[in-house]
Amino acid sequence: MPRELLARDELLVKVVAALEEGVEPTRRVIRAQRTATLELLQRHARTKAEAARRGQLARLLAVDLVIAHAEADAAWLDRCEARVVAAAGAAGAEGPR
Amino acid sequence: MTAVRELEEVTRLYGSGRAAVRALDGVSLQVGPGELVAVMGPSGSGKSTLLNLAGGLDRPTAGRVVVDGTDLGALDRRRLAALRRRRVGYVFQDLNLLPGLTAAENVALPLELDGAGTRQARVEALAALDLVGLAERAAAFPDQLSGGERQQVAIARAVAGRRVLLLADEPTGALDSLAGEAVLALLRARCDDGLAGVLVTHEARYAAVADRVVFLTDGRVVDQTAAGAPSPAGGGPGAAG
């Protein structure tokens, strides 16, 4: 595990910490984070619609950037859940460690 | 608010006995007029099954599906088909436009099949094309339209007439990101005008246009975003400009 990544990525820290608790607690953390990310994206989407209505191109580009980051988080969380489920399946009832 | 579309503890099994697959498992979901709900989830989570049940294309093994006050389970096949034609609009990734018909004729066709006169159907079709900003392309054939324009025609077809429920299954699938955004903006606008909408998508940026995002896993609703999140009109926490 790259230490510098753990040191700066709060999302990664949360998920990795949850792994110690087992599969279901990890999935709960992932789902909670995904829901929070989607709620953030919903707010960005409203901001974007407003910027589009007002023809504010610079603001649109800025919102596109934060949306791209949040989308990447959501995609990564989806991948995390798939990996956790797959690892749990491979390891049987023990769950991933 | 009276729900336009309501699923009550809906379960859908495919197959029977030990081989039965539980595609949906006790899912409840309400969508009101003017509300757009997005459904997300991994492959096989039950998204398409939910949409098929919501639109009366399939029947639940258990539970109730109510559209505009009508319990679909109480309808025979003929009445169910009529309700689907008149009250429910569908937008799919595969647009299903007929290549030999113009944009206006494609939009008018379901209305004519439902008994509207040719003239009345054309008037309603042109009004629907106008709503999606495509009135000037009414005489164009599908192969003369861009991918985004074809999807606009499909949306016009889905909202023409007196529809109350709009169901969209990955409507942005084949489009580039700006065309996809335009399609989502159209769906959003139609819901803002009073339709109830359900959008199945795997893309978070498109789901975020909805009022509520529901997450399905293994046929169950495992989470959803809060409804009525604060508007950014005053520069909410999401404002990033």
> A-B interface: how many C-beta pairs under 8 angstroms?
86
Q: Is residue A9 included in any domain, yes or no? A: yes
Q: Is residue B238 included in any domain, yes or no? A: no
Overall number of domains in chain A: 1
Where would I find the beta strands (DSSP E) of B36-85?
A: 36-40, 62-67, 70-71
Q: Which of A8-12, A90-94, B26-30 has the lowest mean pLDDT?
A: A90-94
Per-residue model confidence (pLDDT) at position A3: 66
Q: Which of A34, A42, A62 sits opposite B241 (nearest CB)?
A: A62
Rounded distance between C-alpha atoms, residue A6 and residue A11, angstroms:
9
Q: Collect the ranges in chain B with pLDDT lower than 50.
A: 229-241
Q: Is residue A7 included in any domain, yes or no? A: yes
Q: Is residue A58 included in any domain, yes or no? A: yes
Overall number of domains in chain B: 1
Query: What integer is the mean pLDDT of A34-47?
Result: 94
Per-residue model confidence (pLDDT) at position B232: 41
Query: What integer is the mean pLDDT of A29-42?
Result: 94
Q: Which of B210, B226, B232 sits opposite A47 (nearest CB)?
A: B232
Per-residue model confidence (pLDDT) at position B212: 95
Per-residue model confidence (pLDDT) at position A5: 64
Per-residue model confidence (pLDDT) at position B138: 94
Residue with tokens 């319990």: B71
Q: Is residue B241 included in any domain, yes or no? A: no
Q: Is residue B197 included in any domain, yes or no? A: yes
- A8 confidence band (pLDDT: 50, 70, 90): low
Tell me the residue range of the domain where A48 lies.
Answer: 3-87
What is the predicted ipTM? 0.80
Question: Are A44 and B225 within 8 A, CB to CB?
Answer: no
Per-residue model confidence (pLDDT) at position B233: 40
Tell me the residue range of the domain where B99 lies.
Answer: 5-227
Q: Which of A54-63, A77-86, B87-96, B225-234 has the lowest mean pLDDT?
A: B225-234
Task: Give the minimum alpha-carbon distance from B72 to chain A in angstroms, rounded to a whole number.
Answer: 31
Question: Are B238 and A56 within 8 A, CB to CB?
Answer: no
pTM: 0.84
Question: Are B225 and A71 within 8 A, CB to CB?
Answer: no
DSSP conformation letters of chain B: ---SEEEEEEEEEES-GGG-EEEEEEEEEEE-TT-EEEEE--TTSSHHHHHHHHTTSS--SEEEEEETTEEGGGS-HHHHHHHHHHHEEEEESS----TTS-HHHHHHHHHHHTT--HHHHHHHHHHHHHHTT-GGGTT--GGGS-HHHHHHHHHHHHHTTT--EEEEESTTTTS-HHHHHHHHHHHHHHHHTT-EEEEE-S-HHHHTTSSEEEEEETTEEEEEPPSSPPPGGG--TT---
Residue A85 in this model has a pLDDT that exceeds 60: yes
Q: B80: domain CATH number?
A: 3.40.50.300
Task: Give the minimum alpha-carbon distance from B187 to chain A in angstroms, rounded to a whole number.
Answer: 13
Q: Could you tell me which of B147, B129, B148, B150 has the C-alpha nearest to residue B138?
A: B129
Going by their DSSP bridges, the two strands B196-200 and B36-40 should be labelled as parallel
Q: Is residue B18 included in any domain, yes or no? A: yes
Q: Is residue A68 included in any domain, yes or no? A: yes
Q: Is residue B240 included in any domain, yes or no? A: no
